Amino acid sequence: MQTLPNAPQTASTLDSHPIETAIRRRKTRPVKVGNITIGGGYPVVVQSMINEDTMDVEGSVAAIRRLHEIGCEIVRVTVPSLSHAKTLGDIKQRLIDTYQDVPLVADVHHNGMKIALEVAKHVDKVRINPGLYVFEKPKADGGEYTQAEFDQIGDKIRATLEPLVVSLREQGKAMRIGVNHGSLAERMLFTYGDTPEGMVESALEFIKICESLDFRNIVISLKASRVPVMIAAYRLMVRRMDQLGMDYPLHLGVTEAGDGEYGRIKSTAGIGTLLADGIGDTIRVSLTEAPEKEIPVCYSILQALGLRKTMVEYVACPSCGRTLFNLEEVLHRVREATQHLTGLDIAVMGCIVNGPGEMADADYGYVGKQPGYISLYRGREEIKKVPESQGVEELIDLIKADGRWIDP
């Protein structure tokens, strides 16, 4: 079950203006995707995508379940053909029969009208890419589009999109208008170039068609593989939506982020920067690794920004010449013993010179006191000095005595 996040906190003031230490999220409309809500002040939703062939029902069901069990709240599947779209009906049913009803999104690409219409019967949200939804032949003369040509294509898009919008509206389902920097429509490229403006106008064109059909269960994404482009596109989208009185939630992601440490840092740089501005209602970290690897990254970004709390928050000093014990080893032991106590903040600090002051209001502190001894803290209060060899056990006893321990 999702719960509403805490109200923003204020920690200090400067010239009588309160300085907020919690992120104030941009107000967006709630969009329901199965039993999950994106936007509307609900916690930022974590999603990922399976890479099984959707024709493989058992393999897809198992992959969706694996992701859902580790916290992926919405799972995306790709639907390259009409048979794939029909098979999703079996996948959805099999999930309900053998596990539970997992919110599913179908990714529809090239010329996907028939596919989208079929898949809309079986999933909770359909993702379309405006750049690929209606095929536009590149202009033979390479010249500019006249207004008449522009409008003609606009009419074709409208005619193609309308049945899908009506179907989703009637079923109370959602749509993601998912623009990709790398696949902008030809005429958007001619008019705006390969720019954030082109991405934003491309999304707006589709949003306006949806609104004219009284459909507003829309989530928007503007992904790019270059982080500055992605950040600029989302910021511009927010500005344009504010001007137009739109409040659609945003799905954040950096495409083709790669793998390993750099893939994670790149995703965090893009997604984290926007989240820190209060922008973003659902995230996907795209790694060139098993999708299960993406979920912990999503949660770490959200936890680091104070947007969701899904694990113990450890505060630990980097250690220095004053450190009185092997900090890396002790942090490891403390983590092993306490990592199931979700919700707690625990600090491990090398010395009492700076440690207690820098524990950032942790619930408990383990601080080097003098050679061979550490001190345990509850908040800012020093509770007891114990031999270092008993430090971790004593910390557990203190948490138990406070009634905040649960067995792993």
Q: How far is the CB of 384 from ligand SF4 (least distance, A)?
A: 19
| Pick 198 or 355: Cβ nearer ligand SF4 | 355
Per rule CB under 6 A, is residue 354 in the interface with ligand SF4? yes
For 282-300, b where at least 16 C-beta lie within 10 A, e where not — what string?
A: bbbbbbeeebebbbbbbbb
Contact 280, 270 (CB under 8 A): no
| Pick 38 or 374: Cβ nearer ligand SF4 | 374
The reply to whether 358 sits in an annotated binding site is yes
Q: How far is the CB of 265 from ligand SF4 (least distance, A)?
A: 24
The reply to whether 320 sits in an annotated binding site is yes
| Pick 207 or 359: Cβ nearer ligand SF4 | 359
Q: How far is the CB of 339 from ligand SF4 (least distance, A)?
A: 21
Contact 133, 65 (CB under 8 A): no
Give the C-alpha distances (Å, rounded to integers) separating 206 from 112, 151, 174. Answer: 15, 13, 14
| Pick 100 or 326: Cβ nearer ligand SF4 | 326
The reply to whether 72 sits in an annotated binding site is no
Among 138, 106, 136, 111, residue whose Cα is nearest residue 124: 106
Contact 237, 197 (CB under 8 A): no
Per rule CB under 6 A, is residue 349 in the interface with ligand SF4? yes
What are the tokens at 357? 């002051």
Contacting residue, 323, 337, 383, 404, with ligand SF4 by CB under 6 A: 323
Q: How far is the CB of 356 from ligand SF4 (least distance, A)?
A: 9
Pairing of strands 218-223, 174-180: parallel
108 membership: H or E segment, kind and range: strand 104-108
Residue nearest ligand SF4 (C-beta atom): 350
Residue 177 sits at the vertex; the CA angle it makes with 189 and 196, to the nearest 5 degrees, is 35
- Supply the Cα-derived Rg of the chain in whole angstroms: 25
| Amino acid, res. 57 | V
Per rule CB under 6 A, is residue 360 in the interface with ligand SF4? no
Contacting residue, 263, 355, 365, 391, with ligand SF4 by CB under 6 A: 355
Tally Cβ neighbours within 10 Å of residue 310: 16
| Pick 142 or 318: Cβ nearer ligand SF4 | 318
| Pick 290 or 353: Cβ nearer ligand SF4 | 353
| Pick 132 or 324: Cβ nearer ligand SF4 | 324
Contact 21, 9 (CB under 8 A): yes
Q: How far is the CB of 19 from ligand SF4 (least distance, A)?
A: 25
Per rule CB under 6 A, is residue 318 in the interface with ligand SF4? yes
Contacting residue, 96, 320, 360, 401, with ligand SF4 by CB under 6 A: 320
Which of the ranges 88-96, 136-144, 287-295, 343-351 carries the binding residues for ligand SF4, by CB under 6 A?
Answer: 343-351
* Separation of alpha carbons 357 and 364, rounded Å: 13
Binding site for ligand SF4 (CB under 6 A): 317-320, 322-323, 349-351, 353-355
Binding residues for [4Fe-4S] cluster: 317, 320, 351, 358
